[in-house]
Amino acid sequence: MTYQQALDYLFSQLPMYQRQGKAAFKKNLTNITKLCDVLHNPQENFKTIHVAGSNGKGSTSHLIASVLQSAGYKVGLYTSPHLIDYRERIKVNGVMIDEQSVIDFIITYKSSFDKIEPSFFEWSVGLAFLYFKELEVDIAIIETGLGGRLDSTNVINPLLSVITNISFDHQEMLGDTLEKIAFEKAGIIKERSSVVIGRLQQDIHHVFEKKAEAMHAKIHLSEPTKYSSDLTGNYQIENVATANKTIDLLIKNFRFTIPETAKVNGFNKVVKNTGLQGRWQIINYSPKAICDVGHNIDGITNIIKMLANERFDNLHFVFGMVNDKESDKILLLLPKKATYYFCKPNIPRGLETKTLKDIASNYSLFGHKYESVKHAYSEALKCASKSDLVFVGGSTFVVAEVL
């Protein structure tokens, strides 16, 4: 089996949320529990931190990992989705899992797993857990894929749980109110544990308090911090604060040795240490082009704030969406003074370009439609002058295709 054949097997033959949406969502942890049993529960062999939230959980996970790496720990990092290479999901000290390990895992466990019929995500979680055990990591930062309570990662017993914030996203699976979504995220809070809440949201905080009380767990709120980061974007201030509170609890409650220099270096070298991409990332300089994976209401709101801080003559907006987002609420937020390059991410869930263009026109957002993301981006670069700005976003998958 080649690496490409391994990927084809993972992507094509199994339910995958990124491609199929709600159909791939499992309503219980039965499959992942059976899968981990086959693997002899590797997740019990290393310490973990569990990170959930509507926005910022990927950045926060990378920030925590970077600081721990800088302090000399061997750190596993499991995140999703990937942007370019599947192996981005599973890293140890910033190095992606090797291709042969992916191939060997499928060859070794395919016949056993066929009886369980795991999803793409369950396969990936199992692979990550086994890989981290085999490489004997000191600690692994595990990001949830979707929600928390029923997420496949929710079979770990972490030192700390982290919930960044709650926003409207994936309502078809997590619920149609912020309270319902918060309830799902709160599902990662474990018995007699501690949980870091990244953003105090008064209208839903009682959900976390009720869950914490039931689990005899303690809530810790993040606090403003003096630390900066190489992750640009105003919204990263909140993520740095959340990561810093998590690090402080590791020092205080679990006797981790993390000197001040490790914090400073870790926060300022996240991209170098972990390889994080797609967060207010400059991808071209003349004209300046920026991409960002923010895609729900909260994420787009942050992007609009960031665009307001940029200096440019004209804005060229390369934009595509998936078909299960609240397109009307998101389009309502977008700047009208821009030229739009409408495109469809190359996945089954991608919103058709004509449909997107037609809906956008209702909100006075105008431009042309293109047959691919890459074509839209190249046209935007071609049409923009040196003093203009090109922005790429609307979906993680639009950003992935440009990168």
Long-range contacts of 377-386 (CB under 8 A, 24+ apart): 377/289, 377/318, 377/341, 377/402, 379/341, 380/289, 380/316, 380/317, 380/318, 380/339, 380/341, 381/284, 381/287, 381/289, 383/316, 383/339, 384/287, 384/314, 384/316, 385/287, 385/313, 385/314, 386/286, 386/287
Quick one: 178 and 317 in the same domain?
Answer: no
Residues of the chain with confidence (pLDDT) below 70: 13-26, 169-173, 325
Quick one: 286 and 312 in the same domain?
Answer: yes
- Residue 289: enclosing H or E segment and its boundaries? strand 288-291
Which two tokens mark 30? 């039965």
List the CATH number of the domain containing 342.
3.90.190.20
Q: What pLDDT does residue 168 have?
A: 75
Quick one: 257 and 385 in the same domain?
Answer: no
Q: In sequence order, which residues have a C-beta less than 8 Å from that of residue 104 and are 6 or more positions away?
A: none
Q: In sequence order, which residues have a C-beta less than 8 Å from that of residue 318 and are 6 or more positions away?
A: 341, 343, 373, 376, 377, 380, 390, 391, 392, 393, 398, 402
**Residue range of the domain that includes 381:** 281-402
Reported as a single tens digit per residue, the pLDDT across 151-207 is 999 999 999 999 999 987 666 667 779 999 999 999 999 999 999 999 999 999 999
The order of strands in the sheet holding 95-96 is: 95-96, 90-92, 75-78, 139-143, 47-52, 160-163, 194-197, 218-221
Q: What pLDDT does residue 296 have?
A: 87
For the chain, how many structural domains are there in total? 2
389 within 8 A of 316, measured Cβ to Cβ: yes
Q: What pLDDT does residue 235 have?
A: 86
Domain boundary (274, 294, 320) is at 274
Domain boundary (231, 246, 274) is at 274
Quick one: 31 and 163 in the same domain?
Answer: yes
List the CATH number of the domain containing 78.
3.40.1190.10
Quick one: 121 and 246 in the same domain?
Answer: yes
- The predicted model scores a pTM of 0.92
